[in-house]
Structure 1
């Protein structure tokens, strides 16, 4: 295990909280210290750490991989930062996008013509992990003259029945 400053700070906070709790039970300092040292790892890994994971939206990030994109569509959100930061598909043609990403999940809406637009391709990226996350991540590729000019992300709220 690698000791990082964040881990050391968090484990110290948990130790202080456990020590204060144990001190309310018994005021002998040597016993309080021993019990606190024994209970701190248990409280950290079985109470504190799971709560942090539930209430934060941390997730793994991956580089874009064509095979993972096609085989695991529910985990596409892991590749989103790499796609956006490197503008991977900007200036790519429709045929190459269709080869790499596959057929668009749905077409975007064009306000000017009040219809679906063949120049707005949308892809479902899945749901980021988190206890209170009910929004689906989506990526929209906007084409002009058969080339991608813009990448947009947005979230769709999903109702689970």
Structure 2
């Protein structure tokens, strides 16, 4: 676990709330302090942290790895932030993309030819975590002269039945 400012502040907030609640049980301050010290990590990791994860859209970020891309398609969104921010895909050839990402899962629509274009490769990146997230993350790689010219990320609304 990486200790950050947010972690420390939220841990202190949970400690204070636990202290205020446990202090109402009795007048013995030392016993209340001891119970609060024991209860704070339990409350934080079993109550506060899960609730925050359910309602936030924070997700872990990973470096791109072609084996993980193929093996865990539902977690691809974790790798794409790094690739998008560093523009590492611009200028790569179709053969390199096909080797690292696999062949396109579907081709994008091109209005100029009124058909799906083999120069617009789309990949499903899965759903970002969150309680109310109904949108599937997708990425489209647009090729010109067999090299990546542009990257477009978009979301598809998924209807669960």
Shared fold (TM-score greater than 0.5)? yes
- How far did 1:125 drift? 1.0
Deviations 1:2-61 (A, max 9, x none): 654333322211121112222333344344333323322222121111112212222222
**Which secondary structure does the structure 2 equivalent of 1:25 belong to?**
coil
Q: What stretches of structure 1 move > 3 A for 4+ residues in a row?
A: 1-5, 27-32
> Which residue does 2:108 correspond to in 1?
108
- How far did 1:137 drift? 1.0
> Which residue does 2:10 correspond to in 1?
10
Closer, same or farther: CA 72–38 of 1 in aligned 2, 3 Å: closer
Inter-partner Cα distance in structure 1 for 2:151 and 2:31:
60
Is 1:29 the counterpart of 2:29? The answer is: yes
Inter-partner Cα distance in structure 2 for 1:39 and 1:97:
50
> Which residue does 1:80 correspond to in 2?
80
Inter-partner Cα distance in structure 2 for 1:119 and 1:153:
16
Aligned residue-pair number: 161
Is 1:134 the counterpart of 2:134? The answer is: yes
Closer, same or farther: CA 101–33 of 1 in aligned 2, 3 Å: closer
- How far did 1:129 drift? 2.0
Is 1:153 the counterpart of 2:138? The answer is: no
> Which residue does 1:61 correspond to in 2?
61
Inter-partner Cα distance in structure 1 for 2:4 and 2:108:
45
TM-score in terms of structure 2 length:
0.86
Closer, same or farther: CA 96–38 of 1 in aligned 2, 3 Å: closer
> Which residue does 2:42 correspond to in 1?
42
Inter-partner Cα distance in structure 2 for 1:52 and 1:131:
10
Inter-partner Cα distance in structure 1 for 2:97 and 2:59:
26
TM-score in terms of structure 1 length:
0.86
